[in-house]
Amino acid sequence: MADIGSFVVPAMILGIMIHALCHRVDVYSAFTSGLKDGVQSVFAIFPALFALFIAIGALRASGLVELVVAWISPLADFVHFPSELVPFALLRPVSGSGSLAFASDIFATYGPDSFAGRAVSVMMGSTETTFYTTAVYFAATGTKDIRHTLKCALIADCVSMAVSVAVCRFYY
């Protein structure tokens, strides 16, 4: 069952290609124009990513991450949450680039196929940059009072983090 994922990317590509050919889409020019967009969006995140790679690299090298992890671990152990993932979980709703840089740091420290590596992947994949997303949507409509939105979204984030860890324990 663990291997279903490995078929997702090739199956998606094949499905998209067949569907597009059946609909007589000019696949080559669509693909290349998509690449152009992709290059632009990668360049768009580059400055933020660079800044956060440096900050998280420094945080890790200084030993501050370990200090925070050691400090928080009694509480994290109490709720059966891996303490080495707490700093990531705190940064996740605030910064997309930051959490990407942090995930990369956790892969480098513990390995992508370790429990921490897998759990951080699932957390990353099942949550969003909550503060950014709500800010973008409500700024567009000029909404001043967003009522229960942030509360619900942040509680959902916490649940998502806990569920991610639980699913990893159960699945692997």
Neighbours of 73 (CB within 10 A): 15
Of 32-61, binders to other proteins (CB under 8 A) are 32-35, 37-39, 41-42, 46, 48-61
Nearer to other proteins, 42 or 75 (CB): 42
Give the H/E segment covering residue 165.
helix 149-171
Sign (positive or negative) of CA dihedral 66, 68, 71, 75: negative
Of 116-145, binders to other proteins (CB under 8 A) are 117-118, 121-128, 130-131, 133-134, 136-138, 140-145
Whole-angstrom Cα distance, residue 53 to residue 99?
10
Site string for other proteins, 67-106 (x = CB under 8 A): x-----------------------x--xx--x-xx-xx--
Among 85, 86, 89, 168, binds other proteins (CB under 8 A): 168
The answer to whether the beta carbons of residues 60 and 109 sit under 8 Å apart is: yes
6 lines the binding site for other proteins (CB under 8 A): yes
Nearer to other proteins, 48 or 76 (CB): 48
Give the H/E segment covering residue 17.
helix 4-22
